[in-house]
Amino acid sequence: MSRLEQAPLFEPLPPGERRMLVEWAPVAKENLGRMRDRRGGEKASRQRPSLESPLSQMTLPGALPEAAWQRLARAPRSAVDREAWPVVPWEQREQQWRKHATTDGFRRRLDAALSVARRAAEKGRFYAALSGGKDSAAMAGVLREAGVPLEGVYAASAFDYPGALEAVDALGKAVGMPVTVLHPAELDRHVDRICARYGRVRPRRRPGVREYDEWDLLRCFPPGVCVLDEGPMKLLVDATGHANLLTAHQYAEGFDGCHTGVRRLESLARHFNWRAKGALYKSKVDGRWTSTPLVTWSGKDVWAFLTTRKLPVLTYYRLAYETGLAADDPAKIRTGSALVYADVARRGVLRPVPKVYPEFWARLVRARPELADFARALGGRPTK
């Protein structure tokens, strides 16, 4: 008999884990039944683990008892009568981040990031791709500590959260980095492309304006079309996408590569890209380098670095967190453009925007009324 035939198909579970599975099986079945009832009896689709998942409510042996705010935070977030959920005070979060910055694991990941930045500087002239978010701010701080040449580039958009440009300027002054700001240009051909796609007439230009701007792009879509769907979003990204502006600027200025704040924990695609190429890799298409110093960092690492170095960051993180409408962890709060794909918007990432930036959101809704539904998304689907 071969070694493969002798091997057991399943390893036996330890008594503690087997008992835990038996105890939690009825809870998981009950939760699945509730999900089917909410969806009209349909089979529940696969969802990401959340605080409503039984697995996230398990208390392991020897674990400390939960605080009151933790028990409240585990209440179902999709309840009709729940507008917001309790959060830990921001000052307490900062204490946790400062403590995390003293751990050996954080120091190892910081040393690895500094090594990536220095190796990238040996490859040629690099620029730092800035977005106004926490990851690019931490990346700029790492580049400063690594002692490499600093050149920042920020691709601005009319749909970015208010204050992003000011945050980038403050970051550049804090780390001593000149920042070049890019704006979308030549939008007339994109207006023609969108109007031709949907059989529309070109919108009238506003009085005193010779060229179309980004807000005019939204007027090109018919009323029955959701601009966050895949088709319209691809047209908008082609016209105003940050990546296109940065790539064109890289070719025009002759940069050899770019530093980005990409982290592997943000998506499976980024994780597998890091596993295959590493933190510093060269493109086979154009020979340009890409440096990702923070690729192995967690969101907690990023906030620990920003807090201990006192680097400026977009105020939306704290404002959205304290509303109780965003994620219960600041590391999970998303910033950038208010126009995101519909599957991302349905997770509730736009819920805090109307409260934090009421004037900005009102203008968006006047241009595209369908966006109002996504501001009421409770992490599953828009609810009215």
* pLDDT classification of 52: cutoffs 50, 70, 90: very low
Q: How far apart are CA 333 and CA 49, in angstroms?
A: 16
Q: Quick one: average pLDDT of 352-367? A: 93
Domain boundaries, the chain: 3-65, 90-184+241-337, 186-239
Q: Are 296 and 115 in contact (CB under 8 A)?
A: no
Query: Which is more confident, 13 or 324?
Result: 324
Q: Angle at CA 108, nearest 5°, toward 103 and 110? A: 95
Output the 3-class SS for 329-356. Answer: CHHHCCCCECCCCHHHHCCCCCCCHHHH
Q: Which residue bears the tokens 């409240």? A: 72
Cβ-based neighbour number of residue 383 at 10 Å: 10
Most confident of 14-18, 312-316, 335-339: 312-316
Q: Quick one: average pLDDT of 360-383? A: 77
Dig out the tokens for 10 from the structure.
């399943």
* pLDDT at residue 258 in the model: 95
Q: Is the pLDDT of residue 265 over 70?
A: yes
User: Which pLDDT tens digit goes with each residue over 132-149?
Assistant: 899 999 999 999 999 999
* Beta-bridge partner residues of 281: 290
Q: What are residue 291's phi and psi, to 5 degrees? A: -115, 130
Q: What are residue 29's phi and psi, to 5 degrees? A: -65, -40
Q: What are residue 216's phi and psi, to 5 degrees? A: -70, -25
Helices 134-146, 104-121: crossing angle, 10 deg rounding:
70
Q: Which CATH number fits domain 90-184+241-337: 2.170.190.11, 1.10.3720.10, 3.40.50.620, 3.40.640.10?
A: 3.40.50.620
* pLDDT at residue 8 in the model: 47
Q: What are residue 206's phi and psi, to 5 degrees? A: -70, 150
User: Which pLDDT tens digit goes with each residue over 63-83?
Assistant: 555 555 444 444 434 433 345
* pLDDT at residue 209 in the model: 73
Q: Is the pLDDT of residue 50 over 90?
A: no
Q: How far apart are CA 24 and CA 213, in angstroms?
A: 55
Q: What are residue 332's phi and psi, to 5 degrees? A: -100, -5
State in Å, rounded, how far the first CA of the chain is from the last one. Answer: 63
* pTM score: 0.75
Please enumerate in sequence order all residues whose Cβ is within 8 A of that of 272, keeping only pairs 6 or more positions apart, or say none: none
Q: Which residue bears the tokens 């398990």? A: 58
CA–CA distances in Å: residue 91 to residues 67, 95, 97, 237, 281? 17, 6, 10, 37, 38
Please enumerate in sequence order all residues whose Cβ is within 8 A of that of 20, keeping only pairs 6 or more positions apart, or say none: 58
Q: How far apart are CA 316 and CA 319, in angstroms?
A: 5
CA–CA distances in Å: residue 278 to residues 24, 127, 149, 282, 294? 39, 19, 22, 10, 11
Q: How far apart are CA 332 and CA 326, in angstroms?
A: 9
* pLDDT at residue 373 in the model: 86
Q: How far apart are CA 258 and CA 124, in angstroms?
A: 10
Helices 316-323, 90-100: crossing angle, 10 deg rounding:
120
* pLDDT classification of 278: cutoffs 50, 70, 90: very high
Residue % of the chain over a pLDDT of 90: 51
Q: Is the pLDDT of residue 46 over 80?
A: no
User: Which pLDDT tens digit goes with each residue over 192-240?
Assistant: 999 999 998 888 887 777 788 899 999 999 988 899 999 999 999 888 8
* pLDDT at residue 85 in the model: 65
